[in-house]
Structure 1
Amino acid sequence: MQLFGFVVLCGLLAFPVLAMTRHYDFVIKEASYTRLCHTKKILTVNGQFPGPTIEAEKGDTILVRVHNLAGYNITIHWHGVEQPRNPWSDGPEYITQCPIQPGTNFTYTILFSEEEGTLWWHAHSDWNRATVHGAIIVHPRRGTTYPFPKPYKEIPIILGEWWTANVSEVIEDALRTGGGPKLSDAFTINGQPGDLYNCSKSGTFKALVEYGKTYLLRVVNAALNEELFFAIAGHQLTVVGTDASYTKPFTTEFIMITPGQTMDLLLEANQQSVNNSTNNRYYMAASAYASANGVASDNTTTTAIIEYINSSTTRPQFPSLPASNDTDSATKFTAKLRSLASKDHPIHVPQTIDERIIITIAVNEILCPNHSCQGPDGNRLAASLNNISFVAPRIDVLEAYYRDIHGVYGTGFPSEPPFYFNFTGDNLPKSLLFPKTATEVRVLEYNTSVEMVLQGTNLLAGLNHPIHLHGYSFYVVGRGFGNYDKDKDPAKYNLVDPPFENTVTVPKNGWAAIRFRATNPGVWFMHCHLERHLSWGMDTVFIVKNGVGPQARLLPPPPNMPPC
């Protein structure tokens, strides 16, 4: 039931509510879908792919009851929702909960706070998020509006990846053999591959637009393993938000969006018919930004169609996308992102820091007996942060922390790399390739002002890494190529209007610096959002301790957490 100011669950838990409470039911089940001339069963929510869109207003509370009618364990993560004091509903498997087992259900309580714009939800177990995902639209609070003219309509655009094989078997085979997972067979826009793939033209997603109107495109990169360039032929795009935070508007011919990121784009339908002809049809298209040298990627292109009302059926015009290895274009685009930082949308960048954490990001190897694995040198592919390849426990970290269960995790995740070397150099010694495997977390005191420097390395392969931190958005105050210099690089930080994000792109053979204040107590996952890297151990956990007073303390668990 709902009371003024609170939501009561089962008579035991009370959550403060700023606006209203909405309810959704998610039924996880298998359904048959045909793509690329192949029919297969995939996991869906309510039989939909992509899944249903959740809509809220800023400050709302959402209750989502998840019924697992499939043959797989499942969890759901509400990507970019900070969930103040409520990690119990954050979702990553064996980090904040045990999975929802087949034939059971669990109700998530999603607490929106300062988010406004586009976010998304997705499965956070196995590789199920390949098909179990959908958009979250957080509208301005009632009585307020956008910091730009209200668009005529809003169009969710969800970019994804499709395998003709069973995606769970793809990662199972990779982990069993130690080699890289099979590449996807297609990218998708709103679940459809588009005209350039076999047997796909009839299902191509089309968006009808009216000349002279402005549309808000809510773009989500739900792909598992590929960063993407995205563009629309004949039209510029105006970026007005990223990760549910408004940005200073800028126009661009294309965007580069990493897995996990969202972007809000204004599209002006301004292409007047020439000589009153009606051939105004334009492709929107997405293809991979494959930053790593010598690492295979899906080299296909997905398309959808922007179609003006009353246009003909002539072939649409095609946009110009950067080359797949165009790091310069990707970097220049990302550098344009700036927080709006207005009176109505202020920002609060920590100007001083209490704790600096330097974390190296690496793709690694783990030795296999007799070089019997299918990774490089007959070893097993792995990944690490600060030379630790994370091992997921069998009891979730949050339960172990809250119940003081010993032996589940250690608190030894270091504040700097265990040793320093030329992280981005060529021909690095092979002895640097081998991390240790452990379940180590980092503990932060409440209200600590944190600077985290994420340092890419050229071990095995240097590439862009999208790093996502649960429970927080953060300010990206600096970014550069090469090795981070703690004496020189901070002088170039942007402490005035840095972008406010939940997923940061760490450039190929470079670094990114983020800042946040640790005022959300709980257990929060941090990981690369390239799913293969997460599966290989490029992740860790931050535990933020309770502060003083009830509003600075972790909420108690709901009574029906899934058992391990």
Structure 2
Amino acid sequence: MRRFLKLFLFLVYAGIAAATTHYHNFVVQNTEYGKLCTNKTILTVNGQFPGPAIHVTQGDTIVIDVVNRANQNITIHWHGVTQHRYPWSDGPEYITQCPIKPGGSFRQKIVLGDEVGTLWWHAHSDWSRNTVHGPLIIYPNNTKGYPFPKPDAEIPLILGEWWKSDIQAVVSEFKQNGGDPNVSDAFLMNGQPGFLYPCSAQDTYKLSVEYGKRYLIRMVNNVMNNIMFFRIANHTVTVVGSDGAYLKPFTSDYITISPGQTIDFLLEANQPPALYAMAAKAYASAATYDNTTTTALLQYSTAAAIPDLTTLPLPTLPEYNDTASSIGFTGRLRSLASADHPVDVPLNVTRSLLFTLSINTLPCANNSCAGPFGERLLASINNVTFDSPTTAILDAYYKKIHGVYTTDFPDDPPFVYNYTENFVPQLLWTPSNGTKVIVLDYNSTVELVFQGTNAVSGIDHPMHLHGQSFYVVGWGLGNFNATTDPLNYNLVDPPFQNTIAVPVRGWTAIRFRAVNPGVWLLHCHLERHISWGMEMVFITKDGKGPGENLLPPPPDYPKC
């Protein structure tokens, strides 16, 4: 007991709080939801939309009892959490687990490491994350607190999306017809489309502030298929974090945020006390999109109410196709790279990968599909459209079950062409398919260059890697040049992300060290693209030292 007390006091005096285990129940259920423009039954956690926020400290452990009382399968993914040596709780369906069936349950253990700031959790089965999601807020574990001015309050702000029809019906329809899914009917801020929608005017989200105070806004983009622009009328903000890591602060009058990404920013309530509009809309470099604007309110405590909110001036947002504004914001992200928050960019690369990201088509009988030229829309990485297995790849890897996947995913594109030319010949649109993985040696240092292509149509791809964050060391427009482009890499203070938008007709280079044994998904976070097959899997082998091996599965690991 004395030894434990001495250790505890040492940790306190050292400025490090003792780790805590947090227990929560996530009851997944069908809920009648009548607060938006169309009453319907949606999937929720604990009856909440958006779902409950989880508040923890760096290094804590979270234990979640997920109980499925709904009428469909479910999984829960802890987006951006490393899950060191324990992919059993990572969540993607048929990658690291089989789904939790109706009436079933699964206890997930999530051990946090260096993550700090804002992450989030969401369903990872079909499109269920549309309504099953919530923020994960991780406070620093030292007495120094934040590396930026202390906020007077902290507020989660979740961007979302709403379809009047059932979301699974939307998924089923476009999978059957082979075309694009129907666009949503509204974007949301904290569960409401805002005062431009008469049915939402009374419930529009309102952020109440006091003049002279500072607020930390923790933004999550849960929109299914669009990068989003966001702005607050008459205010600038200071960006301080993204994807569970701190950034060098910079000021901006707008935010660009990809699906899956988080952005932390400081808001100074320093304008004349009044009512101001907050607004968000899609950035869409290609394809159909929801062209509506979602709104919320920023209200100073002494401001008078406005009887007609439709007269409130909206902030000016970049145009829907403003690629320069999208990449201009993302290109400003830099790691803090301070003595207290150092970077560890891999310098000696031992495995080099080049992945093309493409929209594809596949011929249909009698040209009967709804894609271009009557064909079926698909998507691929290195021209491989992922085939989802019926046994979880992690289970197959751990138990050495053969026939579930193959280890021949290509390190480079199977054929070389001008990836970003104005019109890629149609004969290059057809992909191969398979359940293919890449096996990485433990402690290998990986450089992965994502190359967007203009097959069918070029578009931005927010790529998300499970199991490890990565340093974004470079990006550019056009085709990646392996000789000249690395000369301009940022190896000093690149941002440390888990999701990064590869620009339309461009490329992005990332680096990471493979020190997390297990099975880890890589995919585009545009939901229609993952449905079309833009995903692949890394398997990182065990190391040879202590603490370098995959831990065993939990006793209630879901069965297929």
TM over 0.5: yes
Contact 1:386 1:418 in 2 (8 A): yes
What is the 5 A alignment of 1:455-474? 455-474=451-470
CA offset digits 1:1-39 (Å, max 9, x no partner)? xxx89xxxxxxxxxxx96110101000011111355310
Q: Distance in 1 between matches of 2:174 and 2:379?
A: 14
Residue of structure 1 aligned with 2:428, choices 413, 429, 432? 432
**Long gaps (5+) in structure 1:** 6-16, 274-279
Cα distance, 1:310 vs structure 2: 2.3
C-alpha RMSD of matched pairs (Å):
1.3
Cα distance, 1:508 vs structure 2: 0.4
CA offset digits 1:231-254 (Å, max 9, x no partner)? 100110100000010000000010
Q: Distance in 2 between matches of 1:46 and 1:395?
A: 29
Residue of structure 1 equivalent to 2:177 = 177
Residue of structure 2 equivalent to 1:75 = 75
Cα distance, 1:549 vs structure 2: 2.1
CA offset digits 1:477-512 (Å, max 9, x no partner)? 000000000000000000000000000110000000
Tell me whether 1:296 sits opposite 2:288 in the alignment: yes
Contact 2:382 2:413 in 1 (8 A): yes
Residue of structure 1 aligned with 2:539, choices 543, 551, 554? 543
Q: Distance in 1 between matches of 2:313 and 2:213?
A: 20
What is the 5 A alignment of 1:222-371? 222-273=222-273, 280-292=274-286, 295-314=287-306, 315=309, 316-371=312-367
CA offset digits 1:56-103 (Å, max 9, x no partner)? 100000000001000010000000000100100000000000000001
Tell me whether 1:403 sits opposite 2:399 in the alignment: yes
Cα distance, 1:426 vs structure 2: 1.3
CA offset digits 1:279-334 (Å, max 9, x no partner)? x0111110000011xx2100000011010002111244421100000001111111
Contact 1:361 1:454 in 2 (8 A): yes
What is the 5 A alignment of 1:375-454? 375-454=371-450
Q: Distance in 2 between matches of 1:391 and 1:313?
A: 54
Cα distance, 1:378 vs structure 2: 1.1
Cα distance, 1:142 vs structure 2: 4.6
CA offset digits 1:352-374 (Å, max 9, x no partner)? 20011000000001121221211
Q: Distance in 2 between matches of 1:46 and 1:160?
A: 18
3-state SS in 1 of match to 2:39: strand
Contact 2:439 2:541 in 1 (8 A): yes
Contact 1:73 1:125 in 2 (8 A): yes
Contact 1:194 1:201 in 2 (8 A): yes
Tell me whether 1:34 sits opposite 2:39 in the alignment: no
Q: Distance in 2 between matches of 1:478 and 1:383?
A: 24
Cα distance, 1:430 vs structure 2: 0.5
CA spacing shift, 1:152–1:529, aligned 2, 3 Å = same
Cα distance, 1:166 vs structure 2: 0.3
Q: Which amino acid aligns with 1:45?
A: V
Cα distance, 1:149 vs structure 2: 1.5
Aligned residues: 543
Residue of structure 2 equivalent to 1:528 = 524
Cα distance, 1:461 vs structure 2: 1.0
Contact 1:358 1:454 in 2 (8 A): yes
Contact 2:364 2:375 in 1 (8 A): yes
Q: Distance in 1 between matches of 2:24 and 2:150?
A: 27
TM-score of the pair, normalised by structure 1? 0.95
Q: Distance in 2 between matches of 1:18 and 1:396?
A: 35
Q: Which amino acid aligns with 2:174?
A: A
Q: Distance in 2 between matches of 1:515 and 1:259?
A: 21
Q: Which amino acid aligns with 2:449?
A: V
Q: Distance in 1 between matches of 2:365 and 2:198?
A: 42
Contact 2:452 2:458 in 1 (8 A): yes
Q: Which amino acid aligns with 1:246?
A: Y
Tell me whether 1:158 sits opposite 2:158 in the alignment: yes
Q: Which amino acid aligns with 2:299?
A: E
Contact 1:70 1:102 in 2 (8 A): yes
Contact 2:474 2:510 in 1 (8 A): yes
CA spacing shift, 1:479–1:518, aligned 2, 3 Å = same
Cα distance, 1:375 vs structure 2: 1.3
Q: Distance in 1 between matches of 2:153 and 2:159?
A: 19
**Long gaps (5+) in structure 2:** 6-16
3-state SS in 2 of match to 1:471: coil
3-state SS in 2 of match to 1:199: helix
Cα distance, 1:351 vs structure 2: 1.3
Q: Distance in 2 between matches of 1:216 and 1:62?
A: 24
Q: Which amino acid aligns with 1:298?
A: D
TM-score of the pair, normalised by structure 2? 0.96
Runs of 4 or more, structure 1, over 4 Å off, are: none
Residue of structure 2 equivalent to 1:552 = 548
Q: Which amino acid aligns with 1:224?
A: M
Tell me whether 1:58 sits opposite 2:50 in the alignment: no
Cα distance, 1:143 vs structure 2: 2.6
